[in-house]
Amino acid sequence: MFSQRQPFARTGVPFVRARRRAVVAVLCAVLSGLTVPAAHAGAPAPAAPSAGREARQAARFWTAERMAAARPLDAPRHTPPASSPAASAAAAARPKGTLFKGTRLVGTFFGADGPRGTTWHCTGSVLDTKARNIVLTAAHCARNMKSAYLFVPKFVKGAAPDRQPYGIFPIQRIFTDPRYVPDRGSATTKKAVSDLDTAFARVSPNQWGKNLQDAVGGGLTFTRPAGYTHRGVTVVGYPSYSHNSAGRAVKCTVPTKQLPGFRQLSMTCGGYYGGVSGSPWITDYKDDARTGHVIGNLGGYNGGGNDANVDYISYAPAFGTDAANLLAYAVADQAPPADLPPYRGLKGALPGGAGRWRKAALMASGDYTGDRHGDLLVVWTDGAVTLHPGDGRGGFRTETRLRAANSTWTHARAVTGGAFTGDRSGLLVRWSDGEVTLYPQPGPAGLGREIRMAAPGSAWKNAVQLASGAFRDDGGTGLLVRWADGALTLYPGVGTGGLGTGTPLLAANGTWTKAALLTGGDFGGTAAGDLLVRWSDGALDGYAGTSAAGPGHRTRMRGPNGRWQQARVLTAGAFRHDGPANDLVVRWADGETTLYADTGGTSVGTEHTLVHPGT
């Protein structure tokens, strides 16, 4: 939805405090004759003079009258007249939003184009973060460097700043993705970067000196959705006063689906007129709740609506890697880098969509092309085997099919890649009948020679997981095996002559039977062999310095959580050469595939999407 005012300055650099305070100072100078309304009886006693000073100064400009006069930033959205009986019937059957008094975690996001400029409004919501002062809105609502911004939770039209339920919160700094640039006005159409129409703002305390989350008593949890189809998502926003003279909020709980070709959610519900941009899309909404999970914000294509700007079709960028990274910068109060790679939209670094990658049964990393870049080898559920040569920058070149779909490779149960026979990586496979085979030098020309390492019917049918890494004392490649009973064994002498003698690291135990996934790599940048384990409860642990002496020093990287319970395949390798540690590739249950660059001993590194969810 295009704005009717002048286009915003096209810059992705976040606002700096100095500029924000300068704008507030100008407003105060122009309106110095106004006095701050007295706090109402229920308001907290004023804190130290400095706490809330900016809000008290902003209240001189943001009077009840000025907030009530604000117009919606978006272009007017309308309900088209019915052109036929069929259209009338369709309109009658369409869900329509309900106007209500609002909820504490959602409010109005105001802007003013300088001390004498127009005032306008969008919608914002409170996020639950350790910073305790973060507001979510749409990027197209935050593109004017000359604006003075304000957030008012559970806004009441006609009420003075000190009569607002939770006070007013001046915006100190706004974070938008530097790659998000609107076509004109304040919206982006027909471009992949409309997926980036999300912004986060840091606010200063209200006029009573309270931080945002302390004042409202909670916040929404930023949540990455599993796909685009959801049964009931509630969208809460503040539509334009021309359709809503009392200035109330609107809410509607409806199913969602994907906007074709975009990483965006779509919903159908009437009553979402201009002003609703930035509205949170909440999966577990309850009136005036202090918590909830938000998976997107109203915005995206055409500012959050179709080309006809009807009130009953709305879109929202679905939160993913880019929004998560942007939020991390906002919480840390750091500007996002200006040299981010071009946004690819739903064109992931790996070919095919999530529907295809849900069928990626096994993965192994290694240098299979001899160019010293990390490559990815994939075994699919239909028995096909493909090679994805890495480009050394976290991307992949043209896929090579090493095996067409066949019944033999459907029996592969575990694979790992490692330099078992020299500089080039080999592939070790454990089959369903207990046979183990080594392919010493698979590559673009095919899997190559096959060497039997263990016969069918051997005890290796109980080898649940395989991981290779620099586990030997001399830094060479060793093979670590997790058995069905939880025992761990290290095989330091794997080669063309066989598997060699195993060294027990752990006896059978109940703990390691819960190791759902594991992979080896250099996660500390020390060239030592490290192990990464995803447990059945979603916890993630790193074991530094795995060797014949034991699994190594354990570090908890993630506590038990539902997100990592959805990880189905792990592999690690040198897919990027601009960092000291290996990169972790994860294939999730919904087919999304992610690369965590430079995964270290305490964290999984910077997230990059290889395959987008829902594609």
**Rounded distance, CA 235 to CA 156, Å?**
19
Q: What is the pLDDT of residues 297-336, one digit of tens each?
A: 999 999 999 998 999 999 999 998 899 999 999 999 999 9
21 found inside a domain: yes
Contact 353, 615 (CB under 8 A): yes
C-alpha distance across the termini of the chain, in Å: 25
What CATH number is associated with residue 594? 2.120.10
Choose one of 332, 363, 386: the last residue of a domain.
332
450 and 541 both lie in a single domain: yes
Query: Based on the domain organization, do 282 and 375 belong to the same domain?
Result: no
Kindly report, residue by residue over 19-30, the tens digit of the pLDDT: 344 434 434 333
The verdict on 376 and 245 lying in the same domain is: no
Both 97 and 179 in a single domain? yes
Span 11-25, average pLDDT: 38
Q: What is the pLDDT of residue 91?
A: 80
User: Is 346 domain-assigned?
Assistant: no
Lowest mean pLDDT among 394-398, 422-426, 455-459, 560-564: 422-426
Q: How do residues 521-537 score in pLDDT, each as one tens digit?
A: 999 878 789 999 999 99
Are 612 and 353 contacting, i.e. CB atoms less than 8 angstroms apart?
A: yes
Count Cβ atoms within 10 A of the Cβ of residue 84 and give its class: 0-12 exposed, 13-18 middle, 19 or more buried: exposed
Please check whether residue 7 lies inside any domain of the structure: no
- DSSP element (H, E) containing 420: none
Helices and strands of the chain, counted as H and E runs: 8, 35
The answer to the question of residue 399 being in a domain is yes
The pTM (predicted TM-score) of the whole model is 0.66
pLDDT at 393: 85
Question: pLDDT tens digits for 200-210?
Answer: 999 999 999 99
Residue 36 pLDDT > 60, yes or no?
A: no
Write down the pLDDT at residue 92. 82
SS3 (DSSP) at 471:
coil
Backbone CA torsion sign across 47, 49, 55, 59: positive
Q: How far apart are CA 15 and CA 232, in angstroms?
A: 35
268 and 365 share one domain:
no
As beta bridge partners, residue 471 has none
Decide if 339 is inside a domain.
no
- Over residues 404-408, mean pLDDT: 97
Do 266 and 133 share a structural domain? yes
Q: How far apart are CA 203 and CA 219, in angstroms?
A: 14
Check whether residue 34 and residue 183 sit in a common domain: yes
Lowest mean pLDDT among 19-33, 329-343, 416-430, 567-581: 19-33
Do 318 and 380 belong together in one domain? no
Are 168 and 115 in a shared domain? yes
pLDDT at 1 over 90: no
pLDDT of residue 43: 41
Indicate whether 372 pLDDT > 60.
Answer: yes
The average pLDDT across 67-90 equals 79
- What does each C-alpha distance from 124 to 103, 246, 560 come to in angstroms? 12, 19, 31
Return d(Cα 377, Cα 360) in angstroms, integer.
10
pLDDT in tens, 233-250: 999 999 998 889 999 999
CATH code at 41?
A: 2.40.10.120
Q: How far apart are CA 281 and CA 234, in angstroms?
A: 6
The closest of 79, 138, 135 to 105, measured between CA atoms, is: 135
Largest CA distance in the chain: 91
State the CB neighbour count (10 A cutoff) for residue 562: 9
DSSP letter at 449 equals -
613: pLDDT strictly greater than 60: yes
Q: How far lies 476's CA from each of 252, 264, 377, 427, in Å?
A: 60, 46, 21, 16
- Residue 124: both structure tokens together: 């914002």
pLDDT tops 80 at residue 17: no
Which residue, 332, 362, 382, sits at the end of a domain?
332
Q: Say yes or no: 366 and 254 in one domain.
A: no
Of all residues in the chain, the percent with pLDDT exceeding 70 is: 90
Q: What pLDDT score was predicted for residue 15?
A: 35
Give just the sign of the alpha carbon dihedral 367, 369, 374, 376: negative
Residues 319 and 362 in one domain: no
In a domain, 324, yes or no: yes
The pLDDT of residue 491 is 97
How many Å apart are CA 237 and CA 250, to the nearest integer?
5
pLDDT digits (tens, 9 = 90+) for 124-156: 999 999 999 999 999 999 876 567 899 999 999
Across the range 401-428, mean pLDDT stands at 94
Residue 344 lies in a domain: no
Residue 144: in which H helix or E strand, if any?
none
DSSP string computed for 9-76: P---PPPPHHHHHHHHHHHHHHTTT--PPPPPTTSPPP-STTTTHHHHHHHHHS-HHHHHHPEESSPP
The pLDDT of residue 605: 84
pLDDT of residue 145: 57
Q: Using the 8-state DSSP alphabet, how is residue 142 labeled?
A: S
Residue 547 DSSP symbol: B
What is the total count of domains within the chain?
2
340 inside domain: no
Q: Which residues contact 567 (CB under 8 A, 6 or more apart)?
A: 517, 534, 538, 586, 587, 588, 589
Does residue 321 sit in the same domain as residue 364? Answer: no
Q: What gap in Å lies between CA 242 and CA 252, rounded to an integer?
A: 19
Q: What is the pLDDT of residue 10?
A: 29
Q: Please give the residue range of the domain that contains residue 476.
A: 354-611
Model confidence band, residue 185 (pLDDT cutoffs 50, 70, 90): low
Distance of CA 87 to the CA centre of its chain: 39
Asked if residue 37 has pLDDT above 80, the reply is no
What pLDDT was estimated at residue 184? 67
Cα separation, 245 vs 414, whole angstroms: 64
Closest-CA residue to 477 (of 544, 423, 553): 423
